[in-house]
Amino acid sequence: MEKLSCSQPQGNQFLVNMMDLVDVDELRTSLFNTFLQRQITRKISTKASCQCETGLACKGPAKDGFPESSADQRAKITVAFIYINDATLQLIIDSGSLAQATTASLVAINVAPFRTNVSRALLLQSINLLRSGRCGLDDISHFIAIAISKDAFSKTLTMAPFEGDLARSFMGFPITSKGDAAFEMVAYGRNLMPKACAESFPSVDLLYDYRNFFESCRATGRIGDFPEGVSKPKVAIVGAGLSGLVVASELLHAGIDDVTLYEASDRIGGKLWSYRFDNAPNVVAEMGAMRFPPSESCLFFFLKKYGLDSMGRFPNPGSVDTTLIYDGHQYIWKAGEGPPELFRRVYHGWQAFIREGYLNDDMVLASPCAIGEALKLGHLQQAHDFWQSWLTCFGRESFSSGIEKIFLGSHPPGGEKWAFPHDWDLFKLLGIGSGGFGPVFESGFIEILRLVVNGYEDNAQLIYEGISELPRRIGAQVVHGVSIRERIRHVQVKAIEKENTKIRVRVKGGNSDLYDRVVVTSGLTNIQLRHLLTLDATFLQAEVNGAVENSHMTGSSKLFVLTEGKFWLEHQLPPCVLTTGVARAVYCFDYEPKDPRGKGLVLISYTWEDDSHKLLAVPDKRERLALLRRDIGKTLPDFAKHLVPANGNYDGNVVQHDWLTDPNAGGAFKLNRRGEDVYSQRLFFQPFDVMN
């Protein structure tokens, strides 16, 4: 914004231009001195005339360091701030009146623009809940400081516990262009509250950014050193997925040279599995993890470390042209725009929830945006307190019952109550950003909210070289004269047993070896069924064993087809389809964007839970492909007719996988059901004295 005019509204000698101030301490001091000077001037004027209509006199510093005014208890004046955008501020300053504001209604709030322990997202949440109408982050870039009577009509929001001296409540004074409230504009300037722009930040559960730790170890190339003069342990690592490979790499670089990895499958990488087609080596089907948000900071550290920086945007619904198929009809959702009118209420309601959180009578829970900004700003105690409030209020809710509690309550985000079951069905199809969430509606509400708070639904990327290239490159490292890949034994671990001070690892076929330490990274199902670690309390306490045995693993199925060309580009068809049919979610991928004649790749079906379980009844991939084509073709025949494998090669160019029946996985990923966060807590905080 260009520097605002210094012209002052007629008759207001106190309106001070603070646009040039960019330091929070300077702004705080200037605002205090301005209000103090105002009170002194008012007091002198009162004495001279022996009469004062408002009875203002300087009483001394009040909260936030501002003088509080009073006289004979007849009136009290407080300081509040109206937050607006630059264009609206210019109109107000030029005209000298709020009547020129383009906003239908404004609210003055008792949060100063120099507060560093309040994020802009938290300010925005409070403003939107205190006023009628909605505004965005661009609408709170500037402020007008006002003096207003404490007796003026106000609203108060009581928030969850805050850290330190952060106010437990926000007070707002609704102000309209009609001038319902008596106030005086005193100063204006830029909102200097911190902007959350950190590229790396901790997750809400850990509250520690491991990427920063890894970055701090870059100079030495290792996270630590094994002490000299101490006998080095013999270590086994069970599982050569990403976790196991990273553990092996770090131990070897720290100086431990006797490290062995066990991997039951014939490949490494675990759920990082990129299937490569023989006649299209640059096109990969991500059978496991495929969406990679930058908020996965540790992952992105290793991607950068191993030179995997060629990425593209994942074609999530709404980020590309999307077809929504509901009740037999198709609706087009253009990229970057809002969804079709049928989905407007649920879409805008969910987006409002992300910004405004949950309001129930006099209680407010911080919005997901506010928690996320607290993490990015390093306000970790604040983020912890906000998150604990959600755990307390929604820890026993399923995603479905939580949605009911929020959007059928007295203050639904977005201002419109949802209709059951109609809006439920629409939201199940639309999802929260990455596609339909219907199959996981009975998962824990906190588990889904965790995805949003941690930014896992934002700016998802795909890796052009394939995510399994990361474990391949880690495995190719040569440390102590031997590559990590050469240290892997491809055999299934059948049991892990305590033997005096050692640990015996027994493998399929009857062989076994003794180790000083064993690191198990093979997943909960294998810990219970393959390695038999939960048979007794030798390694884990009973409640931890229970968490291993009862934590829910999600079923997931995928079917990809390599097509002769990128038909969706040639025929201008939407590259993303969400449907209530069997296929559920369809994504088209262009792994060779610079080659218009290259092969296309379509994930014809990506399903979870019950939708995935149904497909297990059709194990043959050719038969399953025909079923899915028929389902899609009912509504999108012009799209479905292109879903044939390149060269008619069903064996080589059609690939599918069901993670629930994978003998080395037993599920795709862990997803807590309602009330099961306690399992995650037990798994994470297992007592080390027992483990040793």
| Domain presence at residue 219 | yes
User: Based on the domain organization, do 349 and 448 belong to the same domain?
Assistant: yes
Alpha-helical segments (H) within 476-540? 524-529
DSSP 686: -
| Domain presence at residue 282 | no
- Sequence-separated (6 or more) residues with CB below 8 Å from residue 124: 135, 136, 137, 140, 355, 369
What's the structural domain count of the chain? 4
Residue 604: left if φ>0, alpha if ψ -120 to 50, beta else—which one? alpha
| Domain presence at residue 424 | yes
| Domain presence at residue 259 | yes
The pLDDT tens digits for 526-542 are: 999 999 999 999 999 99
The pLDDT tens digits for 77-135 are: 899 999 999 999 998 888 877 766 655 678 999 999 999 999 999 999 999 999 877 88
| Domain presence at residue 670 | no
Structure-token pair, residue 499:
């033997």
Structure-token pair, residue 122:
């938290």
DSSP 501: T
pTM of the model: 0.90
Task: Using the 3D structure, point to which of 459, 484, 511 is the last residue of a domain.
Answer: 459
User: Based on the domain organization, do 97 and 112 belong to the same domain?
Assistant: yes
What type of residue is 94?
A: D
User: Based on the domain organization, do 349 and 407 belong to the same domain?
Assistant: yes
- 48 pLDDT higher than 50: no
Give residue 198's pLDDT: 84
Give residue 462's pLDDT: 96
User: Based on the domain organization, do 449 and 329 belong to the same domain?
Assistant: yes
Q: How far apart are CA 129 and CA 346, in angstroms?
A: 19
Confidence of residue 6 (pLDDT cuts 50, 70, 90): very low
| Domain presence at residue 6 | no
Give residue 74's pLDDT: 44
What CATH number is associated with residue 329? Answer: 1.10.405.40
What CATH number is associated with residue 494? Answer: 3.50.50.60
User: Based on the domain organization, do 95 and 125 belong to the same domain?
Assistant: yes
Average pLDDT rounded to a whole number, residues 46-73: 42
> Are 277 and 283 spatial neighbours (Cβ–Cβ below 8 Å)?
yes
Angle, CA 418 vertex, CA 412 and CA 421 arms, to 5°: 150
Q: Give the Å distances, CA to CA, from 468 to 13, 250, 456, 651, 687.
A: 67, 19, 20, 22, 33
User: Based on the domain organization, do 340 and 389 belong to the same domain?
Assistant: yes
Confidence of residue 158 (pLDDT cuts 50, 70, 90): confident
Q: How far apart are CA 172 and CA 133, in angstroms?
A: 14
Give residue 522's pLDDT: 94
Q: How far apart are CA 465 and CA 542, in angstroms?
A: 43
Give residue 303's pLDDT: 97
Give residue 616's pLDDT: 98
Give residue 199's pLDDT: 83
The residue count for the chain = 692
The pLDDT tens digits for 161-178 are: 654 444 478 999 988 655
- Domain of residue 255 covers 210-272+466-521
- A 10 A CB-CB count for 213 gives 12
What CATH number is associated with residue 613? Answer: 3.90.660.10
Q: Among 95, 85, 96, which residue's Cα sits nearest to residue 1?
A: 85
Task: Using the 3D structure, point to which of 432, 459, 486 is the last residue of a domain.
Answer: 459
- 11 pLDDT higher than 80: no
User: Based on the domain organization, do 226 and 105 belong to the same domain?
Assistant: no
Residue with tokens 């009912």: 634
251, 255, 259, 261: CA torsion to nearest 10: 30
User: Based on the domain organization, do 382 and 448 belong to the same domain?
Assistant: yes
Q: How far apart are CA 251 and CA 340, in angstroms?
A: 53
Range scoring the smallest mean pLDDT among 181-185, 551-555, 675-679: 181-185
| Domain presence at residue 15 | no
User: Based on the domain organization, do 375 and 486 belong to the same domain?
Assistant: no
Give residue 197's pLDDT: 85
User: Based on the domain organization, do 619 and 513 belong to the same domain?
Assistant: no
Q: Give the Å distances, CA to CA, from 349 to 125, 239, 391, 396, 437.
A: 14, 43, 22, 22, 16
Q: Of the segments 44-53, 63-72, 101-110, 575-584, which one has the largest average pLDDT value?
A: 575-584
User: Based on the domain organization, do 214 and 147 belong to the same domain?
Assistant: no
Percent of the chain with pLDDT over 70: 89
What type of residue is 610?
A: D
3-state secondary structure of 175: strand
> Are 202 and 141 spatial neighbours (Cβ–Cβ below 8 Å)?
no
User: Based on the domain organization, do 347 and 259 belong to the same domain?
Assistant: no
- 181 pLDDT higher than 70: no
- 49 pLDDT higher than 60: no
DSSP 446: H
SS3 content of the chain, % helix, strand, coil (to 5): 35, 25, 45
> Are 312 and 320 spatial neighbours (Cβ–Cβ below 8 Å)?
no
| Domain presence at residue 4 | no
Residue with tokens 């069997």: 582
Q: How far apart are CA 365 and CA 352, in angstroms?
A: 13
Q: How far apart are CA 18 and CA 408, in angstroms?
A: 44
- Biggest CA–CA distance in the chain, Å, is 103
